[in-house]
Amino acid sequence: MNLRLKSFALSFNPDLPDELADRLRKIKLLLVDVDGVLTDGSILFGDDLQESKGFSTRDGLILGRISKFGLATGAISGRKSPATEARLKSLKFDEIHLGYLAKWPIVEQIMSSRGLPAEEVAFIGDDLVDLPALTRVGLSVSPFDAHPALIGGVDIVLDSDGGRGCVREFCDLWLWANGKWEAFVNSFEVEER
Indicate whether this model's pTM tops 0.85. yes
Identify which of 73, 36, 30 has the alpha carbon closest to the alpha carbon of residue 55: 36
For 3, other C-beta atoms within 10 Å of its C-beta total 7
Give the pLDDT confidence of 30-76 residue by residue, as tens digits: 999 999 999 987 777 778 777 778 888 899 999 999 999 999 999 99
Domains of the chain: 23-182 (3.40.50.1000)
Nearest by Cα to 86 from 38, 127, 142, 30: 38
* pLDDT at residue 46, as a whole number: 75
Q: For residue range 4-18, list pLDDT tens digits in order.
A: 888 888 888 898 999
